[in-house]
A = this chain, B = another copy of it.
Amino acid sequence: MARQSSPKAGRREPRPEPLTKPLENTETIDFDIIELLFFSYRDFVSDPDAILAKSGFGRAHHRVVHFVNRNPGMTVADLLDTLKITKQSLARVLKQLIDSGYIQQKAGPEDRRQRKLYPTATGRDLALALAEPQSRRIERAFDGASAEVRAGVKAFLSGMQNRQNSKAD
C-alpha cells in the first residue's frame, strides 16, 4: 500500500494530506454490521414516525404507548427504568398522552403513591396501528429464513443489549 500522508519535501504544507483509503472491515471490526444496524433502525422507525406526525405525536410518545400497552399497570418508575430517561422528559409526553385520552392513571391499590398506567381503547388502537407496519417490515426481512435463523436473530438482538436490565439496576 502506498503511503498517503508523507509531507512533500521542501514545500510548506498548511494541512496534512487527508486520507483517501476507505475504512474497510477487519478481523475485529465489522463496519458492515454497524451500518446495517444504522440503516435498518432508521427505516424501522420511519413508518411509525409518519403515522405519529398526523396526531402531533413523536417517537417518545410511541415508546410510552408501546410499553404501557405491553405492560398495563406498570408504574411511572417502571416506565422510567425501561426507557432510561428522566422523569422530566417523560412527564411532557405522558401528560399529553393522558390529556389526549390514550393513557389513564390509577393510584396503586397497595401503595397509593404509585400511578399505575393503563391504555385506553384508543391507546390500544394506536399501539396496534404503529406496530403494524413495523411487523410487516420484520416479516419481509425474515422472508424465507429458517427457524434457526429466526431464533439466531433474536439471540443476536438480545446479546446486543447491556447485561442485567433487572430491577436491581
Contact = CB atoms under 8 A, between A and B. Distances in A.
Interface residues of A, number: 73
Given A29-B132, A29-B135, A38-B63, A140 B159 contact: yes
A159 B135 contact: no
Contact of A157 (B33, B63, B106): B33
A146 B31 CA distance: 19
Nearest to A67: B35
Contact of A118 (B20, B36, B160): B20
A34 B138 contact: yes
Interface of A: 5, 15-16, 18-23, 28-44, 46, 63, 66, 69-73, 84, 104, 106, 118-121, 123-124, 127-128, 131-132, 134-135, 137-143, 145-146, 148-150, 152-162, 165
